[in-house]
């Protein structure tokens, strides 16, 4: 046996959009996963014109992502998992991608379904997400991590019904489509407290509530789901990983920054957070 494989870091495969500024998307995923001791690998499913101010354009990648994924296949063994997020592929290429993922059988799987970046142009509607789910979720084992707006769109609810919709109404369509669990994020719900919900066919578990922090941050959904993947690959069970992901996001909130002083704040790399903590300790 090759002893180097015993100590090798787990591989975290990210399938999503390329935000050149690194506030969200594949670069944000890679930063978060590397901090957790994972080897990030990435395949772009969407190219964007995006910065801290807004996203102005989203297109499918020029190179076939399925070929890229197949090229990575020799590395995808042992401890590894996948995160799927922003996807601009047409139905046919996405179906091929799902077939390849089904063959590779990632042990840990999370889908962060995205309708649109937080500012700028949109990409999907609820019907698009339902078509994606029909190809992706029947393979089993997927945790889906929508916010309330994404869950409501998937359920076919009008925007005015989002806030009043019961959690069961928002989660059931995902479960019926084949999701193993729905991590319904609470940031878009009203009130001074944020509480995520972990919903399966067995019921609803309310995760720890926390005070709503002031201001907005770029890439919160990306950071939460990427952190969850890294923590799961590090040995935490699914609910514990969700709780810890939310705790780490809150811990990082105050240290967000705006590169060049422009745009909405993004989360700082770990080196900056560590330097800040060391300064406070002195």
CA nearest neighbour of 35 among 184, 182, 251, 263: 251
The greatest distance separating any two alpha carbons of the chain, rounded to the nearest whole angstrom, comes to 59
Interatomic CA distance for residues 119 and 98, integer angstroms? 28
Per-residue pLDDT of 132-177, as tens digits, reads 999 999 999 999 999 999 999 999 998 777 777 899 999 999 999 9
3-state secondary structure of 202: coil
Per-residue pLDDT of 196-244, as tens digits, reads 999 999 999 999 999 999 999 999 999 999 999 999 999 999 999 999 9
Interatomic CA distance for residues 222 and 117, integer angstroms? 11
Q: What are residue 210's DSSP bridge partners?
A: 194
What domains appear along the chain, each with residue ranges and CATH number? 4-281 (3.40.1190.20)
Per-residue pLDDT of 14-62, as tens digits, reads 999 999 999 999 999 999 999 999 999 999 999 999 999 999 999 999 9
User: How high is the pLDDT of residue 224?
Assistant: 96
Contacts of 41 (CB under 8 A, 6+ apart): 11, 12, 13, 14, 72, 75
Interatomic CA distance for residues 24 and 3, integer angstroms? 36
């Amino acid at each position: 046996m090759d002893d180097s494989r015993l100590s090798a870091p787990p591989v975290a495969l990210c399938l999503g959009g390329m935000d050149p500024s690194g506030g969200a998307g594949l670069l944000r995923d890679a930063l978060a996963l590397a901090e957790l001791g994972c080897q990030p690998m990435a395949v772009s499913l969407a190219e964007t014109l995006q910065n801290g101010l807004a996203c102005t354009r989203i297109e499918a990648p020029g190179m076939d992502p399925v070929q890229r994924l197949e090229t990575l296949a020799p590395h995808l063994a042992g401890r590894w998992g996948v995160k799927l997020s922003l996807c601009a592929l047409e139905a046919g290429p996405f179906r091929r991608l799902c077939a390849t993922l089904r063959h590779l059988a990632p042990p840990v799987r999370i889908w962060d379904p995205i309708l649109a970046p937080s500012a700028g142009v949109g990409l999907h509607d609820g019907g698009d997400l339902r078509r994606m789910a029909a190809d992706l979720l029947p393979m089993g084992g997927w945790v889906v991590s929508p916010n309330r707006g994404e869950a409501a769109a998937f359920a076919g609810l009008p925007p005015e019904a989002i806030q009043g919709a019961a959690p069961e109404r928002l989660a059931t369509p995902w479960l019926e489509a084949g999701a193993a669990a729905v991590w319904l994020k609470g940031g878009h719900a009203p009130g001074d407290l944020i509480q995520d919900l972990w919903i399966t066919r067995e019921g609803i578990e309310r995760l720890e509530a926390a005070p709503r922090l002031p201001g907005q941050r770029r890439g919160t959904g990306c950071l939460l789901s990427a952190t969850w993947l890294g923590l799961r690959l590090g040995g935490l069970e699914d609910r514990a990983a969700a709780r810890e992901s939310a705790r780490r996001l809150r811990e990082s909130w105050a240290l967000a920054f705006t590169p060049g002083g422009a745009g909405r704040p993004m989360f700082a790399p770990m080196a900056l957070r560590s330097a800040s903590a060391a300064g406070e300790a002195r």
